[in-house]
Amino acid sequence: MADSSRAKCAGTPALGNFLALIATGVLAAGVCMSPASAQVAEQTSSGMQISIPPDFKPQDSVPLRGEDETQQQLLSQAVQMIKSGRPADALSGPIAQVIAHYENGPGKEQRKLHYCARYQDESFLYLAEAAKDHQDAVVLPQTWADAYFEESSALTDLGRLEESQAALHKALALSPWDSLYLSELAYTYEMQHDNEKALDLFTQAEGATEFSPPDQKNSELAHALRGEGYALTELHRLDEAEAMYHKALKLDPNDQKSKNELQYIAQLREKLGSEK
């Protein structure tokens, strides 16, 4: 099982820090080529050695093995159950099966850090972070972390927010720089009316989009920006809230959610002005 205490969720690393690892030689001497489908960081006498596939391409997806494809199919079933109003069935059925598979199988070895990544560049960043700390690590496809994410979604639908947050922390232990997970965790605090905490997490989610897949980057960034805007509105920081919604509209001029929130802020300003 992943150790959530190891997750670096307090913020996202600057890309410059990663590049600095290479510049200072922390990684350069330890990179070798390996045909393995998973990327592995191993401790050696000369430092941390990172093994990557010979056909490594930063924007490629982390490859699924046969067992991962089976678990992904189960997770797809869980998503459909949740959408059809059966979150409890999803929890006790396919979600529990997928989590058990990884916790009792690939994630069982406690001597290594376990990460999940969507794309190869994110995978390499996790390995770089582990190498910097001289720790062994393995990066798996996103399926395991997504199982915790869907567990959280089902628990949220059932009104079990604290359990939902615990599941998201497990997802973030595996994928610390996943913007979608951070936004979802922020949303649970928003539901608890803890807008300061929600704002902090949505801000982290905005920063984490630096590592989002190219085809999802704008949507995840807009999601985080709208979340920041909502929290700022609730905190009556209206100028800042408007700025966030305008940023979201630059990404998508047809973003109706942001337009609606800007209208709400305008109405709120009128109301506050009339009360003076």
Going along the chain from its start, the domains and CATH numbers come out as: 177-276 (1.25.40.10)
3-state secondary structure of 110: coil
**In tens digits, what is the pLDDT along the chain, a chain of 276 residues?**
333 333 333 344 444 454 444 333 334 333 332 334 444 443 333 344 455 555 555 556 666 777 889 999 999 999 999 999 999 999 999 999 999 999 998 888 778 899 999 888 788 888 888 888 888 888 899 999 999 999 999 999 999 999 999 999 999 999 999 999 999 999 999 999 999 999 999 999 999 999 898 889 999 999 999 999 999 999 999 999 999 999 999 999 999 999 999 999 999 998 887 665
From residue 14, how far is each of 20, 176, 178, 198, 268 by CA, in Å?
Answer: 10, 13, 14, 22, 37
Q: Which tokens belong to 262?
A: 């800007």
* pTM of this prediction exceeds 0.95: no
Q: Which tokens belong to 240?
A: 């800042």
Q: Which tokens belong to 25?
A: 């030689």
Residues paired with residue 43 on neighbouring β-strands, in sequence order: 48
Q: Which tokens belong to 7?
A: 């997750």
64-71 long-range CB contacts below 8 Å, 24 or more apart?
64/141, 64/143, 65/37, 65/38, 65/141, 67/101, 67/105, 68/140, 68/141, 68/143, 71/97, 71/98, 71/101, 71/102, 71/143, 71/144, 71/147
The per-residue pLDDT for 53 is: 52
Percentages helix, strand, coil for the chain (3-state, rounded to 5) are: 65, 10, 25
The per-residue pLDDT for 191 is: 95
Q: Is the dihedral of CA 55, 138, 94, 150 positive or negative?
A: negative
The per-residue pLDDT for 55 is: 56
Judge contact between 228 and 199, C-beta under 8 A.
yes
261 Cβ neighbours under 8 A, 6+ residues apart: 226, 229, 230, 233, 241, 245
